[in-house]
Structure 1
């Protein structure tokens, strides 16, 4: 900032919409992608970035063709902007009652696609009975955006497969999921018996967009590499229903959570392929910010959710111990449907 300007200059003149635009630019690492996300023209986003840099008197990004890199000053501004933007987003939570049953407010949950957990559904029903004035807003998004929503403090918590997490974002296992390999009714392998891994190595794949080394679905990538699969990825999506649809349509074989597609297998829409014991565990995690000041409604929901997870883990461990003693085969992630 110019030293001749008074300390209150930014408070009086700064357009907070510029901060929001900069947050999207920094997250997308691209002005063009930020423009698409904000539903604005690329020149308008570029102009907003220039205006913010002029008002702050700092260069916030370095441009390398279509790609940008946030500067050290930009990193500092992004952190401050996330705090400011998150605070503004929580203004609607200011009016809350102090008694437990009369607590009111909004709890915002960021989730990835395709979480199927009946015990969690039952938990939500019980929570709503106990706290009828607390509202829930659930938004489905990519795993990376789930983490971003926590950093920006626009969400109370996130539900997503675990990925590399920034500082001050805590996590614990929410739902254990075992992924298996499947083909659909319209695939040439459907209906064939006695298949082995060697029969699959040349088949094309349907995958999740996060199924790449270093991303949250990378165990599925490791499986394909270890097994020597050579087929191309011919269909992909960040949406669980869309991946399942592509597999059913015969675009290729692909991995899905076994407990989610159990009915599809029973109804003859999908067929499980080798290996029989599944491909990999890709668990869904509960994420929350350790440095966020939670409202009474948010605190009540998080506390109840942690208690639910503790109880569900104890029940699952007890069921597994009983199965071990009886000699029965463990049911894995599909056991969550029976709670």
Structure 2
């Protein structure tokens, strides 16, 4: 009499395809029908059953020319097979479901004070759809935004663009208009009917991108045309700091009209000329053409593309204040 097979060794060495084949044989009540269901030759299925019975050292099916009966051991094994493959199926479904829950981090490089209801709604909608995703938002100059995307340290960038880099793609996120403003302590505050020449000789604030070769070139051209560069006493790459210096009275300077308007309404800023010829500036989304995005970044980019495609630029263009 042979020694019983060690259960642990049996589990390690058992071919699970044999269990699957046995389950189909019982369900079909026939080796022939099981072979047809599995798209195999009948001898292959019959041989698989023999191998399983030999491995377990017990008959599982009593079969003959005129009968087919599952033995008690076979019934017990069949129930276990149903449980095993049912659990496996549920596990696979759960795993697939888990993959549907997008997780990860979206890294964005942004110029300061990106004030856009469209962008805010994008973030809100994405968070509602994928609450497990986290964000890492870093504020920097537009030049640094482009460099971060080129170096792939940021998934996407949002900034001003003068010259496009061949390795990046660019989409207009929104269009804004710039005007000149001054704070309450400035000599021109409250003055109406001013002309551009009235600004000459007054101290001013400038963005680092406010140069003839950079992203805010239209502002630089206007400055040069009216000789407004003689007394630039404050430079910054951040909109918030430009706003601070202008309100504090250090000088007049350029600001996005839709950002400045609420400060005008509160009496903290005063609009200066040009009044009816606001300077059009586009804010772009930057992406690297060969960047490999994680699932969170890819989902964010897909939602961004979908919303850019459905919301026309006219609805992403903010008032020039005229």
TM above 0.5: yes
- The match for 1:105 is 104
Map 1:3-82 → 2, pairs under 5 A = none
Contact 2:176 2:256 in 1 (8 A): yes
Contact 1:159 1:286 in 2 (8 A): yes
CA shift at 1:220, angstroms?
Answer: 0.9
RMSD of the TM alignment (CA)? 2.1
Map 1:213-228 → 2, pairs under 5 A = 213-228=212-227
CA shift at 1:316, angstroms?
Answer: 2.1
CA shift at 1:247, angstroms?
Answer: 0.9
- The match for 2:67 is none
Alignment deviations for residues 293-328 of structure 1 (CA, whole Å, 9 cap, x no partner)? 2222211100101112222226629xxxxxxxxxxx
Unaligned runs of 5+ in 1: 1-95, 318-331
CA shift at 1:140, angstroms?
Answer: 0.6
Alignment deviations for residues 182-238 of structure 1 (CA, whole Å, 9 cap, x no partner)? 111110111112211121122221011121121112221111112333531111111
- The match for 2:41 is none
TM value normalised by structure 1:
0.63
Contact 1:106 1:135 in 2 (8 A): yes
Contact 2:207 2:238 in 1 (8 A): yes
- The match for 2:312 is 313
- Aligned residue pair count: 226
Q: Is the alpha carbon distance of 1:240 and 1:140 closer, same or farther for their aligned partners in structure 2, counting shifts above 3 Å?
A: same
Map 1:175-254 → 2, pairs under 5 A = 175-229=174-228, 231-254=230-253
Query: In 2, distance between residues paired with 1:112 and 1:97?
Result: 38
- The match for 1:36 is none
Map 1:259-278 → 2, pairs under 5 A = 259-278=258-277
Q: Is the alpha carbon distance of 1:128 and 1:230 closer, same or farther for their aligned partners in structure 2, counting shifts above 3 Å?
A: closer
Q: Is the alpha carbon distance of 1:101 and 1:125 closer, same or farther for their aligned partners in structure 2, counting shifts above 3 Å?
A: farther
Map 1:96-135 → 2, pairs under 5 A = 101-135=100-134
CA shift at 1:97, angstroms?
Answer: 6.9
Query: In 2, distance between residues paired with 1:125 and 1:284?
Result: 20
Query: In 2, distance between residues paired with 1:243 and 1:97?
Result: 49
- The match for 1:255 is 254
Contact 2:174 2:313 in 1 (8 A): no
Query: In 2, distance between residues paired with 1:294 and 1:201?
Result: 49
Work out which of the two has the higher radius of gyration on C-alpha atoms and give 1 or 2.
Answer: 2
Q: Is the alpha carbon distance of 1:137 and 1:234 closer, same or farther for their aligned partners in structure 2, counting shifts above 3 Å?
A: same
Contact 2:161 2:215 in 1 (8 A): yes
CA shift at 1:333, angstroms?
Answer: 1.4
Contact 2:175 2:313 in 1 (8 A): no
Question: Does residue 1:283 correspond to 2:246, yes or no?
Answer: no
- The match for 1:3 is none
- The match for 2:144 is 145
CA shift at 1:101, angstroms?
Answer: 4.3
Query: In 2, distance between residues paired with 1:278 and 1:247?
Result: 21
Query: In 2, distance between residues paired with 1:99 and 1:278?
Result: 53
CA shift at 1:98, angstroms?
Answer: 7.3
Contact 2:115 2:259 in 1 (8 A): yes
SS in 2 for 1:138: strand
- The match for 1:37 is none
Query: In 2, distance between residues paired with 1:282 and 1:143?
Result: 13
Please identify runs of 4+ aligned residues in structure 1 that moved more than 6 A: 96-100
Unaligned runs of 5+ in 2: 1-94
- The match for 1:154 is 153
Q: Is the alpha carbon distance of 1:315 and 1:256 closer, same or farther for their aligned partners in structure 2, counting shifts above 3 Å?
A: closer
State which drifts further: 272-281 or 99-108.
Answer: 99-108
Q: Is the alpha carbon distance of 1:288 and 1:132 closer, same or farther for their aligned partners in structure 2, counting shifts above 3 Å?
A: same
Contact 1:208 1:238 in 2 (8 A): yes
